[in-house]
Amino acid sequence: MKNKKEKSTKLWGGRFQQPTEKLVEDFTESVSYDRRLYAQDIRGSIAHARMLGQMGIITEKDSQTIIDGLKKILRDIENGRFSWEKGLEDVHMNIEKALTDLVGPVGGRLHTARSRNDQVATDIRLYTREEIIKIDQLLERLQKAFILQAESYMGIIMPGFTHLQKAQPVLYSHHMLAYFEMFKRDRQRLKDCLKRVNICPLGSAALAGTSYPIDREMTAKELGFAKITKNSMDAVSDRDFVLEFLFCLSVIMMHMSRLSEELVLWMSSEFSFIELPDAYCTGSSIMPQKKNPDVPELVRGKTGRVYGSLMALLTTLKGLPLTYNRDLQEDKEQLFDAADTTSSSLAVMAGLIENMRPNPKRMTQDTKTGFLTATDLADYLVKKGLPFRQAHEVVGKAVANCLSKGKELHELGLQELKKLHPFIRDDVLKIVEVKGSVASRKSKGGTGHEPVKDALINAQKWLKEFKICL
């Protein structure tokens, strides 16, 4: 049992008569994970100290002393010479204590006109902003990998699927560019998310603002923020921007999980559509013949982890009254883990796609079964004057007839095809061929050769023009 008269030594401990219980200290500390915000914390503190000096709230000399001290602490942390203390709770108190030890009582002036509440909100916004830029760059690399696939293997025809059943023939390049479009939307979402991240809460203090004559615009400008928050109570308790970022990451991971599912299927012997690079696969401990697609399987699995971060923070926030509550400490581990998971998943997936090889022979072989040109035959009859529903019925019966004979549509002779309907003429043969089917899809956004070439040009142009800038 601790001595009840033993006074707390915390930086905030003036009104406390007892030190914090060790169990409570372990339970409430966050420095074990929030110390990764050290660079953002020091950057925000330097901007705050410079503003305090310029506004005459502290002397210019004290301001410079604080700034010099913070820069030295930053170097010490980066060089592994900084000792983190769990008893000081978090990254903010650790750095402030180190500053006071380094420069003396002058270090205590740094916290004038601010609170840990607006300090941590600023740190998290700076961190999230940096992660958006980083993840956007990884998405760009992945998009380039899909363009590489589409360019390198133009002309390969493969089955397109609905309900995981063969539907119509498509160009492999068209399929690759479908993923380009998915990740394009992800980058656009991140860019829009950045607008709500890039707002500075510093100067909101604990919840009510401050009586000191601070210049919030000055610190916002120095930190690269586009503007300042408008309400101090909302500013210190708002984590909507984190939720939005986690949602963006969840959608990115959902897209990668869909991609992963196709890669796992395509690599199987049942499909054999692709060959994944050995460097991105693993073997079995007991079956020497196995080559397992562990990377896409893990990406697929990690998607749930990112979803979990979003749901966890949504649940944390749903019951919080204004303004700051200690529950908000739970935002960081979710944010860090989701960002790290998404970044590593994107990086490894980009390398895999860059080195993936399609199997044209198997893809072509698979287009010869499954009646992939049935819709083309129906469209042919419509163009001859038959209403679509009647054409649909005619071709449906033809497929049933083929199934009974063990044949495909393209295996029927001209005379057999003509028996299906009087509208059918000699020109039907090119319609039931896979190449003719693909060539006919000339509508914008379709799988025809010209639309796909145009899509490739437009994708490359978009990549050059799209930028996320602060």
Residues with catalytic function: 163, 284
Q: By C-alpha distance, which of 331, 181, 332, 364 is closest to 259? A: 181
Q: What is the CA radius of gyration of the chain?
A: 31
Residue 240: both structure tokens together? 């909507």
* DSSP β-ladder status, 199-200 and 227-228: parallel
DSSP secondary structure of 134-188: HHHHHHHHHHHHHHHHHHHTTT-EEEEEETTEEEEEEEHHHHHHHHHHHHHHHHH
What's at 103, amino acid-wise?
Answer: V
Six token digits for residue 166: 């063969």
Strand partners, 169: 159
Phi and psi angles of residue 275, each rounded to the nearest 5 degrees, phi first: -120, 115
Structure tokens at 214: 């601070």
Full 3-state SS string of 208-277:
CCCCCCCCHHHHHHHCCCCEECCCHHHHHHCCHHHHHHHHHHHHHHHHHHHHHHHHHHHHCCCCCCEECC
